Amino acid sequence: MLFIEIRCDDPTIIEDNIRSTKLSSPDYEDADPDEAAADFRARIAHYERVYQPLEEDEGAYLRVTGAGRGVTVRDVDGYLEARLVFFLMNLHLSARPIWLTRHGESVYNASGLLGGDPDLTPAGRRYARSLAEFLDERCPDHDDVVIWTSSLKRAVQTASPLDRAPWAWRALDEIDAGICDGMSYEQIQAQLPEEYEARRRDKFTYRYPRGESYQDIILRLDPVIIELERTRRPVMVIAHNAVLRALYAYFQGVPRERCPYLPIPLHTVIELTPHAYGCHEGRVPLEPRQDAGEGL
């Protein structure tokens, strides 16, 4: 057993927390902000009267104080406990946007083919320029935003007009289609009907022969998610359909079985702003056009 205690005695942090997060709780929907803040202060006072602080001799524990400014760990042993410690040490209360976008249209998108490492089409290059204009409007200070891309050409090329140095992650690469790489779904159905049917029955657990499944994608995105939680600056992630579905599902609390069916259209920026009770979401189509197929 691992005890986790999160304590804060700083009145400034507490007041900021009440105003920035607690007032967005469903408990205070449509309530006057000052009345809601007073009510929550009274709630804290009730908690304080009955709360029993964690004692030093109670076994393994992790104590976080001052909204993450101090962390104390005692007798933590084991992989899962260590992962929890690492995760909680990287959480913070800073509000910042996370922008998710697929790369611009690629040659394979236009042809309805899976995977590969193709270049952008002219429409994809136009989207890259539109994306640069969007980011300049939102973050005119170039040092104030982090750009992450996959290592594939179509994502790197989409980031090239941004005038900011991107950080390429192999973990953000598109799902590996294995022996189906470079094929269309029509070709898979005709040449590999058993694989086509297996994927249709259970898209989440289906693994392409010599390739990956959505389950595999989620596992390899673990370090990306930790870094997204840790980062306090705005982040733009330029990646691929399956990968962005998994990231979106994490932040929006979507059950993993629904992850493979989430709509992540081309040439659209999804803006997520994490808060205490989920994420605010906005979608900005920068160059409306018909999406070139379902994608992976």
Catalytic positions, please? 102-103, 109, 154, 174, 240
Cβ partners under 8 Å of residue 240, min gap 6: 102, 103, 150, 152, 155, 172, 173, 174, 175, 295, 296
Q: Which amino acid is at 93?
A: L
Please enumerate, as own/partner, the contacts of 86-93 that have beta carbons within 8 Å and a separation of 24 or more.
86/226, 87/226, 87/229, 88/4, 88/62, 88/64, 89/64, 90/226, 90/229, 90/230, 91/229, 91/230, 92/67, 92/68, 92/229, 92/230, 92/232, 93/16, 93/17, 93/20, 93/21, 93/67, 93/68
Token couple for 239? 């990646």
